[in-house]
Amino acid sequence: MSAVLEAAISEFAAIDSVVARSHEAQAAYAAARHAVRSALLRGLADALERDAAPLIALADEETSLGAGRLNGELARTAFQLRGFADRLDAGIAARIVDNAAVAGAPPAGRPHLTRMFAPLGPVAMFSASNFPFAFSVLGGDTASALAAGCVVIIKPHSGHPELSRRVHALAAGVLREQGLPEGVIGFVDQASREAAVRLVSHPDVGAVAFTGSYQGGVALWKAANARACPIPFYGELGSVNPLVVTPQALAQEVETPAATLAASIALGCGQFCTSPGVIVVRDDGTGTRFVEALARSLAAQRTHAMLTPAMHCGFEKATEHIAAQPGVVTRLAAQAGSAAGHPPTPRLFEIDAQSFVANAALHEEMFGPAALVVRARHDADVLDVLTAVEGTLTVTLWGAEADTAANRALAAVAQRIAGRVLFRGVPTGVAVCDAQQHGGPWPASTQPQTTSVGYAAIERFLRPVALQDAPPWAIDANHGGATV
């Protein structure tokens, strides 16, 4: 037997073992009182905060994201863990619709029906590269799945492996302290692509949460749907996040909005899923001054090393691909010393609206500090550009404050292609709250009717079940009334 085959067999066996422990823990955890789940979430938040200093130092060492950014992200992670706990206590997972029996024949007559929600089962959670806390081991996917009553099997990202191990060890300690099975939060350490497919394909896995590349996400999405019993695959696959700068937005000046936008493009070295990558500006004198100001501001931004050498290589290839397209003008080019392991230089490109619409290669994400300016002659051009994008996490509309037919048309198209439409500010920075929507039409995500950020994320991992003429114990057992 070859060494490669032996390694694969060993890796698959390890995955099967982790899934078996999670499967064993699922029934008891799903039947736990909601107070048990909320106590776990609060305990995880407390553990993160207790070890914040060493965790931040380790995260910075592995990601180069900086202590300021990482402190804020850890705080957000603890905040959303406690937020889900608060909403569990308020009954978010205990919602029922109860229709009393009505005597007589159908359609007026009916039996007693109680509609409630049951956990989907073990959730395979694939950590993201760009948020080592908030979209990782104890991030939003884990928090929402645990709140729903689903145990979680974590596949960490290779960009921050030691941090992931450390955070999982903290989580394991909290499980022990609270007397919960270790399988409630499983961990598949540094699985290969083949092993990741094995995890998604395992018959005891009930759903998948994924944040990452389009190619990797589509491969796993296909595996989830190729199973004998397909399962929900909640994937966030990337986004170009168009930002429309209307003439009204530049009526006073161009420097301040240009500086604001440049900071958003370069934030986190452009490694945000909501980083504005397509900037739609009018093809006139004011638009030209804005683009010039944007290039100056972007050139002045300080970047840091990207998350991994492979990610930096991908960024360079993506920007080279855009630069090589017919009609593209390079406003801000790569500079010397931009190799993997060093901070990349920001890039800015420009194209006319008609060429953008006609060339699908220009609609692809450049994951890093880069953007493509699209020059539009009139309102119809802007609508055509947005329509060509197809699916995106966000669309930002600067200067669309007035109630006009043009702005209504613009907002309608934006809402058709995006999960979140902004009328002010920049898309980077996703608030964790009840009204948030983080997910858009394909290819931004695989399930645009759901969100991966905010407290509505719990709905992904709950399946509606109607109980007919059920005795009280059956309703109570499915309503958070039992204990582990």
Which tokens is 412 given? 């309608």
* 284 touches 377 (CB < 8 A): no
Q: What's 243-422's CATH class?
A: alpha beta
Which tokens is 125 given? 């959670």
Tens of pLDDT, residue by residue over 55-89, are 999 999 999 999 999 999 999 999 999 999 999 99
H or E element that contains 118: strand 113-119
Composition of the chain by helix, strand, coil, percent to 5: 45, 15, 35
**Residue 347 CB contacts under 8 Å (≥ 6 apart), including other chains:** 319, 323, 330, 332, 333, 334, 366, 368, 369, 370, 371
* 219 touches 62 (CB < 8 A): no
Indicate which residues carry an active-site annotation: 236, 273
Closest alpha carbon to 257 in 290, 286, 284, 298? 290
Structural domain spans, the chain: 3-237+445-477, 243-422
Whole-prediction pTM:
0.94
Cis, peptide link before residue 472, omega less than 30° from 0: no
* pLDDT digits (tens), the chain, 484 positions: 566 566 667 889 999 999 999 999 999 999 999 999 999 999 999 999 999 999 999 999 999 999 999 999 999 999 999 999 999 999 998 889 999 999 999 999 999 999 999 999 999 999 999 999 999 999 999 999 999 999 999 999 999 999 999 999 999 999 999 999 999 999 999 778 899 999 999 999 999 999 998 999 999 999 999 999 999 999 999 899 999 999 999 999 999 999 999 999 999 999 999 999 999 999 999 999 999 999 999 999 999 999 999 999 999 999 999 999 999 999 999 876 556 568 999 999 999 999 999 999 999 999 999 999 999 999 999 999 999 998 999 999 999 999 999 999 999 999 999 999 999 999 999 999 999 999 999 999 999 999 999 999 999 999 999 999 999 998 887 665 433 3
β-pair partners for 37: none
Chain-centre distance for alpha carbon 395: 16
**Equal fold, 3-237+445-477 vs 243-422:** no
Tens of pLDDT, residue by residue over 318-337, are 999 999 999 999 999 987 65
Architecture per CATH, domain 3-237+445-477, reads as 3-Layer(aba) Sandwich (3.40)
